[in-house]
Chains A and B, each alone.
Chain A
Amino acid sequence: MLLSQLPVGKTGEVVAITCSGLVRRRLLDLGLVPGTKIRTLRQSPGGDPLAFNIRGAVIALRLDTASHVKIRSLD
């Protein structure tokens, strides 16, 4: 499952980051390393971007960025 598909209010765990280069680095810097728990908090009116709780901070990611994060649902 991809992070971009995680419904609001649900929790997942990062399995892998599937891109490379700057976007990958950025996601890792934001704390999205394998094993990290992540919860979808809100969705903007157009559905993009989504707001997530990542290691205690609220971070908004665009759908195309979030689709580079493979997760495992925990619910």
Chain B
Amino acid sequence: MKGQPLQPLLRFGIEDADSPVVALAGNPNTGKTTIFNALTGLNQHTGNWPGKTVVQARGKYCYGGQEVILVDLPGTYSLLANSVEEQIARDFIYFGRPDATIVVADATCLERNLNLLLQVVEITPLVILCINLIDEARRKLIKIDFARLAERLGIPVVPASARTGEGLELLKKTVQDMISGKLKPSPKPIIYDGEVEGALHQILPEIKGILGDDATSRWLALRLLEGDETVLEGIQHYLLTDPPARLEEVFV
């Protein structure tokens, strides 16, 4: 079922990677864990992220005869690895290569949740935006144009209320369609100003030469330009066994 390399997932403590793996990301207090519990029920397992004192919750659910492994990532505002939690979430989405990533957003303050969404979309196009707490938003008379949002973002958008179970069927179906390849999101790439794009074009061929041509090279190049050292550690830990000396040369 899985065409992606399995090894990185082992590093995250996931052994049974025959089933598709779906990551659950989101800001703190968006009901991410409520969604996780509603989807997996009692079929979950809690432990730690390997080598970290951060809780890892993993669960399974079945949809249409297909078993899906759901990984609850720590709640973060960002993926720029300022904290252990952010680094875990980022490493899992980038190095773990989940078959889909659900970003849970709070319908009552959607705007502040979209920052994380954009950061996830920069890493992988396989993203579903789940807008949770729509019951509360309705009560506050907040109206959201889900169709227009999906069109502008270029990814599927699923409204939900995890507390009442509303929208969860559609969420599972959307995940299924993404795993099976029926749904191929095409989010618009984020283009930076000329100086950044120029630097990107300089180092991209070098990165592709080391890690292979990959849709996510652009994200990696951006982090290297930012001078993010944690991403180099990640490459060493999850992708390559020998130190990426040439990447460090690229590193500015």
Q: Footprint of B on A, CB under 8 Å?
A: 22, 25-26, 29-31, 54-57
Contacts and interface: CB of A to CB of B under 8 A. Distances in A.
Nearest to B119: A29
B62 to A, nearest CB: 35
B109 interface: yes
Interface in B186-223: none
A26 B81 CA distance: 10
Given A29-B115, A31-B115, A56 B78 contact: no
Interface in B75-92: 77-78, 80, 82
B82 A56 contact: no
Given A22-B82, A25-B82, A30 B109 contact: no
B112 interface: yes
B109 A29 contact: no
A25 B80 contact: yes
B78 A55 contact: no
Looking at chain A's contact residues, the main secondary structure is mixed
Interface string B61-82: 0000000000000000110101
Contacts of B29: 57
Contacts of A56: 106, 108-109, 111-112
Interface size class of B (residues with CB under 8 A): 10 to 19
Contact of A31 (B80, B108, B112): B112
B111 A29 contact: no
A26 B78 contact: yes
A57 B133 CA distance: 14
Among B29, B82, B112, B115, max chain A CB count under 10 A is at B112
A30 B80 CA distance: 12
A26 B80 CA distance: 9
Which 5 pairs of residues, A with B, have the shortest CB-CB distance? Answer: A56-B109, A29-B78, A55-B112, A31-B112, A29-B77
Given A22-B82, A25-B82, A30 B108 contact: no
A74 to B, nearest CB: 19
A56 B105 CA distance: 13
Given A29-B77, A30-B77, A54 B82 contact: no
9 contacts: A22-B80, A25-B80, A29-B78, A29-B80, A31-B112, A31-B115, A55-B111, A56-B109, A57-B27
Contacts of B27: 57
Contacts of B112: 31, 54-57
B82 A26 contact: yes
Contacts of A54: 112
